[in-house]
């Protein structure tokens, strides 16, 4: 059965390398924090769960980029992730990437594409 889509925010709310918009998803039968960002003009979404200790990345709500706006960074111990893939770039994530979510931008809005039911 095809998954459904959910409106997350207006596209204009996401500034390039700016603050993330947080939302929630169902993941493994539980409600989990997630976020969307804009980077290089495109939108990306991830579970808000560090590869190190499964805690949220934000140092302040929605603040997930490093000070240069170059990479995503976990506020707890500094694990660094590529914004366009979620790949671990360094720090205690030790190769564990962020879990990427399917996000689409269309008609001035950003949508989360829920996975298909098993
Ligand atoms: S919990 Fe994210 S770097 Fe340790």
Report the separation in Å between the CA atom of 112 and the middle of ligand 1, taken as the mean of its atom positions.
25
Report the separation in Å between the CA atom of 106 and the middle of ligand 1, taken as the mean of its atom positions.
33
DSSP 48: S
Q: Output the pLDDT for position 2.
A: 59
Q: Measuring from atom 3 of ligand 1, which residue has the nearest CA?
A: 77
- Fold classification of 5-113 (topology level): Rieske Iron-sulfur Protein (2.102.10)
Domain borders along the chain are 5-113
Q: Output the pLDDT for position 117.
A: 64
> Which stretches of 20-114 are assigned E, i.e. beta strand?
21-27, 30-39, 42-47, 72-73, 80-81, 88-90, 100-101, 103-106, 109-113
Report the phi/psi class of residue 54: left, alpha or beta, with left for phi > 0 and alpha for psi in -120 to 50: left
Report the separation in Å between the CA atom of 75 and the middle of ligand 1, taken as the mean of its atom positions.
7
Each of the 118 residues of the chain gets a pLDDT tens digit; together they read 557 999 999 999 999 999 999 999 999 999 999 999 999 999 999 999 999 999 999 999 999 999 999 999 999 999 999 999 999 999 999 999 999 999 999 999 999 999 876 4
Residues with CB under 6 A from ligand 1: 50, 52-53, 55, 74, 76-79, 91-92
Contact 55, 40 (CB under 8 A): no
Neighbours of 47 (CB within 10 A): 19
Q: Output the pLDDT for position 3.
A: 74
């Amino acid at each position: 059965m095809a998954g459904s889509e959910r409106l997350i925010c207006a596209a204009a709310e996401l500034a390039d390398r700016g603050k993330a918009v947080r939302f929630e998803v169902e993941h493994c039968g539980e409600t989990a924090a997630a976020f969307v960002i804009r980077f290089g003009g495109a939108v990306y979404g991830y579970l808000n769960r560090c590869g190190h200790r499964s805690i949220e990345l934000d140092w302040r709500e929605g603040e997930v980029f490093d000070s240069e706006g170059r990479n995503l960074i976990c506020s707890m111990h500094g694990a660094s992730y590529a914004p366009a893939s979620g790949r671990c770039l360094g720090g205690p994530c030790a190769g564990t990437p962020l879990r990427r979510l399917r996000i689409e931008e269309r008609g001035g809005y950003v949508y989360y594409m829920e996975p298909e039911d098993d």
